[in-house]
Structure 1
Amino acid sequence: MTVKVSVVIAVYNPGKYVEDCIGALLRQSLPQDEFEVFFVNDGSTDDTPARLDRLAAEYPHIHVIHQESSGWSGRPRNTGTRAARGEYVMFADHDDWLGDEALERMYDYGKENDADVVVGKMAGIGRPVPQELFRINRPRATVETAPLIDSLTPHKMFRRDFLNEHGIVFKEGKRRLEDHVFVVEAYLRAKSVAVLSDYLCYYHIARDDGSNAGFQRFDPVGYFNNLREALDVVEELTEPGPVRDQLYSRWLRNEMVERLRGRRLLKLPEEYAQELYREIRGVVTERFGPGVFARVAPTQRVIAGLVAAGLYDDIRALAEWESGIRPAGRLTSLAWEDGSLKVGFSAEYQVGGVPMTFRRDDGQDGQDGRDLLDLPLSDAARAALEAQGISLRAPVAKSDVDLVIRFRENATQFYLPLTSERHRIDTGDDGVFRQEITARAVIDPETAAGGVPLGKGIWDLHLRIKSCGWNKEVRLGAVRDGEVERTRTAALTGEPRRLVLPYWTDGPGNLSLDVDHQTNKLEREAVAWTDPAAGTVEGSSVRLPLPLHLAPAGGEPVQLRFERRNVGTYPALAEADGRTVSAPLPLEQLVGRRWAVRIGMPSAARGEPRWTRLPVDVLVDAKGAARVIDRKSVPLWRKLARRLKRALTNLQKTN
C-alpha cells in the first residue's frame, strides 16, 4: 500500500503534553497502512524517548528516530522528511494535536486540487491563529488571492516531491523564524495551495506551564537577523511592486509594529523594550518603504512612521493610551424566529471606560472633509508623520463586526451570518463623534457549524470589532437590555429533536448555548422558577408553567411523569405551547398521595428524554381531587411533628 502521508514531529522534552498528540494520531480516520509517523527525538532528557519506543513497538506505522540535541526544531524536521515515504509530509509539534479526520481530509483535498501545499483550518487554544484565511475553503489559493501570508507556521501538508524538487528544507541550529523561511518559500514556489476551512484540522496549544518555544523571550539582534532571511526569500522570488510590498507588510505588522503597541510593549523591561525598538528600526529603515507602510492598517502605519522617525517616546505614550482600549458590546435582542435564534447587539470601542472618539475635519481651501484618528501625539510626531505622507485619516466607513460561535471543548469556531449598520453619534464637542455599530446575527442550530448542526456541548458567543487597525474580541451578553431576559427562550430543533438552551454564564453573565443537555442548566432554570400557583388542574388534566419558554411553540414532543419513591412512576405525553405544558392525570393511580413531577425533554445524543424535576408537586386527595402545590411546602402535621421532635431532643439534653 502506498503511503499517503508522513507525519513528522520534532520532539524535545514534551513530558505529559505529548500524550494528546499521540492520542490524536491513533484516532486518525486514515487507515494506519496509509500513513506513517516519525517522532524525531532531538536529545530529550525526560522519559519521552522510552515512551515513544514502546509506542513504536506496538504500532508498525509509528517510528522513532533518536539524535543528539540540535537546539531547535529545524534539524529534526529535516531528519524526519528524509526518512519519509509519503506522498505528502505533514509537520506537527509535539504539544499540539490533529483533528481525528485531519490527515484523510487534507490528503483528499490536496489530491482533488493538485496542491503542492495543503493548509488545514487551525484552532488556537491559549494562542492566536489566523482568522480571515479560514473563512472559506480556498481550493487554489496564492499569496495574491488569499491571506496565506498570515499563516507561516509549518503545521501544514507539503507534497514531498515538490519539496525535493526545489530543495526546500528547514534552516538548522538554534534560531528563530526558520518556519517562516520554509513556508514562505513553499508558498511562492507552489503551483497550487489548497486551504481547507470546513474541518478543524490542527489544534495549536499553549502549554499551561508557558514553556512553548515560541513564547520565550528572544535576543532581538538574532531574531531580526533571522527575520531578514525570510525577507530575502521574498526578495528573491518576487519582483519589486505591490505583491512584494504586501508580503513584506506581514512582518512589519506582526513582528514589528504589534510588538510596540499597548500592554505588549509596556510589560517589557524598559532596557529590553528599547533594544527591541532599535532592532526593529534597523529593519524598517533598511527594507521598508512607503509602499509597505501603505499596506498596514492606519494605526499600524502611524507606529511604523514613528519608528522610521526615531520617536520612541511618542511610541511609548501611544502604547499607554492604547492599553486602555477595550471592545464593548451590548446584547439588545434575543428571540427565536422560524427555528433560528436571532441575536441583536451593538458594539463600539472604549478607551478608559468611555467611548472612543474621532474628529471630523471639515476641510479648508476647497478640500474635502476627513474623519481623523484622535490620537495622543506630540507636535513633533504629527510633523514627522506629515513629512512621511502618513495621514491620521480614520476609515470609519470600513468599520465592521463579526459574531463568532466557538465550541468550548476545543475552540472550533464559525462566523455567523449577520447584517450591520454604522452610526455616527455626535458627542456635543465641535467635530468630535463616536461610532457605534448595530447588528443582527442569525444562529440556526442545524447549519451554524459551517453548514452542519452544532454538536452537543457548550457554544460561546464572541463579538469581534474591526476598526482602523484595531481588531479585538469580547464576550457578548454581560451587558444587555432589560427585555432580553424576557425573550430568552429555548427551542427543540433538528431531527431527532434536541434542546438548545441560551443561558447566562456564571459570574460575568455572558451568553452561551447549551446544546442537547450538556449541563444541568435546565434543572437550574427549573429551580429558579417560583410560581407554582400558576399550575392548574382542570378535570383530569394538569397544566403547568414551564421552567423556560419553548420556541417555536406548539406540538413539541415533551413528556411528564408523576413519581413517588417506593410507589411507582406514571408517564404522560404532554403538549407544550410555549410557556406551559399540559398532560392528562392518571388519577386512578395517583389518588391519595403527593407526587413529584418531572419533565422529559428529548435528547438526540441519548436517544431518550432527559428528565428534570419541576419545583411543583401534584397532590391528589382520597376523593380524586388534584391540585398543584409548591414542592417545598410542608404539611401542617409534618411541621408539628418536626417541632415535637426538636422539643424532645432539647428536653433530653437538659436532663
Structure 2
Amino acid sequence: MTVKVSVVIAVYNPGKYFEDCVTGLLRQSLTPDEFEVWFVDDGSTDETPARLDALAAEHPHFHVVHQESSGWSGRPRNTGIDAARGEYVMFADHDDWLGDEALERMYAYGRANDADVVVGKMAGIGRPVPQELFRVNRPRVTVETAPLIDSLTPHKMFRRAFLAEHGMRFKEGRRRLEDHVFVVEAYLRAKSVAVLSDYLCYYHITRDDGSNAGFQRFDPVGYFKNLREALDVVEDLTEPGPVRDQLFSRWLRNEMVERLRGQRLLKLPEDYAEELYGEIRAVITERFGPGVFDRVAPTQRVVAGLIAADRYADVRALAEWEAGIRPTGRLTSLTWENGSLALGFSAEYEVDGAPMTYRREGGHDLLGLPLSEEAREALAAQDISLAAPVDRSDVDLVVRHREQATQYYLPLTSERHRTGIGADGDGYGDGHGDSAFRQEITARAVLDPETAAAGGPLPAGLWDLHLRIKSCGWSKETRLGAVRSDGVEATRLPALTGEPRRLVLPYWTDGPGNLSLDIDQRTGKLEREAGELMDWAEAGADNGTLRLPLPLHLGSAAGAPLQLRFERKNVGKYPAEATTDGRTLTAALPLERLTGKRWAVRIGIPSPERGEVRWTRLPVDVVVDAQGRARVIDRHTPPAKPATRAPARPPRPLWRRVAGRMRRALAGGRR
C-alpha cells in the first residue's frame, strides 16, 4: 500500500516528554501500513538512541536515523525529508503529540482540497498558539485570504512532491527562525493551503523545566539576522504593496513590538533590554515603511513609532503603564434554555484597578496613553495618531478543556457601551461629548453541550470558561465567574443533555470561584451542589408517596422516568421509579420494605462514557416508622433516641452491700 503520510521528528535528549509523543503516534487511526515515522536522532547523549532502536525493532513502520549533532532542528528535518516515502510529510517535535485521528483527518482534508500545505488545529499547553486562524475550517486559502501568517511553526503537512518541485529544505546549523523561513516560503509557493479547524490535531506543550528551545533567551544580533532571512523570502516572492506589507506586519507585531510591551519588557535585565531594543530598531528603520505600520493595531503602531523615533525612555514608560492593564468580566446570568446554557456577562479593561479611560476630543475617540509631549510630537511627525477604534472592540468566550487545552468559541452577541467620566471618577452622560469615557461590553453567549465542539458534543471532562477582550491592540484573557451578580446562583443547575443522557454540571472552582463545567461526572461535586442549590425544606412524604425538589434541569427529557434508590448499610437497596413535572420528583415508596428504618436516598445519573448509572446521595433521608408512616429529614440529623427507657433498678440496701464486702474478704483470706 502507498504510504500516505511520513512523520518526521527531530530528536535530541527529549527525556520524559518523549513518551507522550510516542503514545500519540501509536494511537493514530491510520493503519501502520498507511503511515511511517522517521525519528532522526541528532546526536542524543542520553538513553534516547537505545529507546529509538527498540521502538523501530518493535514497530516496522517506525524508522531511526542516527547522526552527529548539528545543534538545531534544520538538518535532522532535512534528513527526514530525504528518507520520507509518504505522499505528505508531517513535522512534529519530540516533546509534543498528535491527536488520535490527526494524520487521517489532515491527509483526507488535504487530498479533498488538493492542498500543498495542510494546517491542523493546534492547542497550546502552557504556551500560546494562533486563535483567529482556527475559528472555522478553511478548505482552500492563501496568505491573502486567511491569517496563515499567524502560524509559522513547522507542525504541518506538506505535499512531498511540492517540496521536491521547489527544492525546499530547512536552513541548517545552530540558528533561530529556520521554521519561519521554510513555512513562509511554502505559503507563498503553494497553490492552495487547507486549514482544518474542527479537530484538534497537534498539542504544543511547554516543558515543566522551561527547557523548550524556543523559550531560551536568544542573542539579539543573531536572532534578527535570521529574521531578516524570512523577510528576504517575502521580498523575493511578492511585489511591493499591500500583501507584502501585511506579511511584514506579522514580524513587526509579534517579534518586535510585543517584546517591548508591558511585563515582557520590564522582566528583562536592563542591559539586555537595551540591546534587544537596538536590534529591533535597526530592522524597523531598514525594512518597514508606513504601509507596514498601518497594518498593526493602534497601540502597536504607537510603540513602533516610538521605536522608529528612538524614544526608548517613552517605550519603557508606556510598558510600565501597560503592565497594570487587566481584563475584567462579570457574570450576570446563567440559565438553561432548551438544553443550552445561556450566559450573560459584561467585560471591560482596568488599569491599576480602575476602569480604563479614553478621550473624546473634537468628535474623535483617542487613546488615553500616558505619553510625554515630546513623544506625542514624534508620533505626529510620522502621521501616527492616537485614534482609538473603540467601536470595533469586541469579546470572545471560549470553553477550554482543562487537561488537553482543546478550545471552542461560543456563539454570542455583544453590545458596546460608553459612559462619560467626571473629574471625580463618577460616570455621567453617554460618553459622546468631549470628555473622558470608559467602555463596557455586554454580551450573551450560548453553550450547547451537544454541538459546542465544532458541531459535535463536548467530550467528557472538565471545561473552563475563558473571556477574551479585544480592543485597540490589547487582547487579554481572564476567567469568568469569580465576579457575578446575586441572581446567578439561584439558576445554576446541573442538567441532563444529549442522547444518551449525560450530566453537565456548572460549578464554581475552589478558591477564585470561576465558572467551569463537569461533563459526565468527572468530579464528585454533584452531591454537594444538590445540597446547596435546592430548597430541601419542600421535601415531604404522605400516603406512601415521596416528593423531592428536582436537583436537575431536564430540558427535553422533562417527564421522563428517573431512578431513585433507598439504601441502608447491611440491610439492602430498594429501587423506585420517579416521575417529574420539571420541578418536583414524585415516587411511590416501597413501604413494606422500608418500614421501621431510616434510609438514604440516591438518584441514578447516567454516565455514557462509563456505560453505567452513577448513584448520587441526596441531602435527605426517609424515615418510615413501625406503622408505615414516612417522613423526610435532613441526612445530617442524628438518629432519634428511643422514646422510652427500661426503669432503673433500685440500689441494693446498705446491709447487703456490707455483707457482700465481708464475704469477699473472708474468701480472700482462705486463699
Which range, TM-score by smaller chain?
Answer: over 0.9
2:50 corresponds to 1:63: no
CA positional deviation for 1:608? 2.9
- Please name the residue that 2:231 is paired with: 231
8 Å CA contact 2:542–2:631 kept in 1: the answer is no
2:559 corresponds to 1:565: no
Say which of 385, 395, 402 aligns to 1:401. Answer: 395
8 Å CA contact 1:298–1:392 kept in 2: the answer is yes
8 Å CA contact 1:337–1:552 kept in 2: the answer is no
Q: Deviations over 1:246-279 (max 9, x none)?
A: 0000000000000000000000000000000000
- Please name the residue that 2:429 is paired with: none
Change (3 A) 1:523 1:639: farther
Aligned length: 636
8 Å CA contact 1:550–1:579 kept in 2: the answer is no
- Please name the residue that 1:166 is paired with: 166
Distance in 1, Cα, partners of 2:327 & 2:281: 30
Distance in 2, Cα, partners of 1:605 & 1:152: 37
Pairing 1:37-76 to 2, within 5 Å after superposition: 37-76=37-76
8 Å CA contact 2:542–2:629 kept in 1: the answer is no
- Please name the residue that 1:598 is paired with: 602
- Please name the residue that 1:287 is paired with: 287
CA positional deviation for 1:169? 0.4
Distance in 1, Cα, partners of 2:328 & 2:643: 52
3-state SS, counterpart of residue 265 of structure 1: helix
Pairing 1:369-388 to 2, within 5 Å after superposition: 369-388=363-382
8 Å CA contact 2:494–2:551 kept in 1: the answer is no
Distance in 2, Cα, partners of 1:414 & 1:273: 36
CA positional deviation for 1:166? 0.5
- Please name the residue that 2:211 is paired with: 211
3-state SS, counterpart of residue 145 of structure 2: coil
CA positional deviation for 1:162? 0.6
Pairing 1:47-126 to 2, within 5 Å after superposition: 47-126=47-126
2:180 corresponds to 1:186: no
CA positional deviation for 1:634? 2.1
Distance in 1, Cα, partners of 2:239 & 2:639: 89
3-state SS, counterpart of residue 33 of structure 2: helix
- Please name the residue that 2:314 is paired with: 314
3-state SS, counterpart of residue 609 of structure 2: coil
Residue identity in the other structure for 1:360: R
8 Å CA contact 1:336–1:552 kept in 2: the answer is no
8 Å CA contact 2:496–2:552 kept in 1: the answer is no
Residue identity in the other structure for 1:571: P
197-206 or 609-618, which moves further after superposition?
609-618
- Please name the residue that 1:652 is paired with: none
8 Å CA contact 1:557–1:601 kept in 2: the answer is no
CA positional deviation for 1:177? 0.2
Pairing 1:279-358 to 2, within 5 Å after superposition: 279-358=279-358
Change (3 A) 1:136 1:530: closer
CA positional deviation for 1:545? 2.5
Distance in 1, Cα, partners of 2:567 & 2:340: 35
2:384 corresponds to 1:390: yes
Distance in 2, Cα, partners of 1:635 & 1:8: 68
555-564 or 439-448, which moves further after superposition?
555-564
Distance in 2, Cα, partners of 1:421 & 1:581: 40
- Please name the residue that 1:505 is paired with: 509
8 Å CA contact 2:408–2:454 kept in 1: the answer is yes
Q: Deviations over 1:295-349 (max 9, x none)?
A: 0000000000000000000000000000000100000001011111110000000
CA positional deviation for 1:16? 0.6
Change (3 A) 1:93 1:341: same
Structure 1 unaligned regions, length at least 5:
363-368, 645-655
Change (3 A) 1:639 1:78: farther
422-431 or 162-171, which moves further after superposition?
422-431
**Structure of greater Rg:** 2
2:15 corresponds to 1:22: no
3-state SS, counterpart of residue 303 of structure 1: helix
Q: Deviations over 1:44-93 (max 9, x none)?
A: 11111111110100000001110010000000000111011111100000
Distance in 1, Cα, partners of 2:283 & 2:22: 40
8 Å CA contact 2:10–2:41 kept in 1: the answer is yes
Residue identity in the other structure for 2:154: P
3-state SS, counterpart of residue 480 of structure 1: coil
Distance in 1, Cα, partners of 2:8 & 2:322: 41
Residue identity in the other structure for 2:641: W
Distance in 1, Cα, partners of 2:561 & 2:629: 27
Q: Deviations over 1:365-407 (max 9, x none)?
A: xxxx210000010111000000000010000000000110111
Change (3 A) 1:125 1:640: farther
Distance in 1, Cα, partners of 2:225 & 2:460: 48
- Please name the residue that 1:554 is paired with: 558
Distance in 2, Cα, partners of 1:62 & 1:554: 53
Distance in 2, Cα, partners of 1:27 & 1:218: 36
3-state SS, counterpart of residue 335 of structure 1: strand
Change (3 A) 1:510 1:375: same
CA positional deviation for 1:502? 0.8
Distance in 1, Cα, partners of 2:619 & 2:491: 22
Which TM-score applies when normalising by structure 2? 0.93
CA positional deviation for 1:559? 1.2
- Please name the residue that 1:6 is paired with: 6
Distance in 2, Cα, partners of 1:87 & 1:567: 66
Change (3 A) 1:179 1:529: closer
Q: Deviations over 1:528-555 (max 9, x none)?
A: 4686543211201111224455556831
CA positional deviation for 1:111? 0.6
8 Å CA contact 1:6–1:88 kept in 2: the answer is yes
Distance in 2, Cα, partners of 1:578 & 1:550: 7
Distance in 1, Cα, partners of 2:642 & 2:4: 74
- Please name the residue that 2:175 is paired with: 175
CA positional deviation for 1:32? 0.5
3-state SS, counterpart of residue 32 of structure 1: coil
Distance in 1, Cα, partners of 2:643 & 2:477: 55
User: Matched residues, percent identical?
Assistant: 78
Distance in 1, Cα, partners of 2:556 & 2:492: 12
Change (3 A) 1:638 1:181: farther
- Please name the residue that 2:277 is paired with: 277
Q: Deviations over 1:593-649 (max 9, x none)?
A: 1111111122222333210111221111111111111222223437999xx9xxxxx
Pairing 1:464-503 to 2, within 5 Å after superposition: 464-503=468-507
614-623 or 545-554, which moves further after superposition?
545-554
- Please name the residue that 2:541 is paired with: 537
Distance in 1, Cα, partners of 2:218 & 2:180: 16
Distance in 1, Cα, partners of 2:285 & 2:98: 41
Which TM-score applies when normalising by structure 1? 0.95
8 Å CA contact 1:526–1:613 kept in 2: the answer is no
Say which of 377, 399, 405 aligns to 1:411. Answer: 405
Distance in 1, Cα, partners of 2:580 & 2:48: 57
Distance in 1, Cα, partners of 2:347 & 2:378: 33
Distance in 2, Cα, partners of 1:530 & 1:164: 66
- Please name the residue that 1:633 is paired with: 637
- Please name the residue that 1:650 is paired with: none
- Please name the residue that 1:523 is paired with: 527
3-state SS, counterpart of residue 609 of structure 1: strand
38-47 or 545-554, which moves further after superposition?
545-554
Residue identity in the other structure for 1:140: R
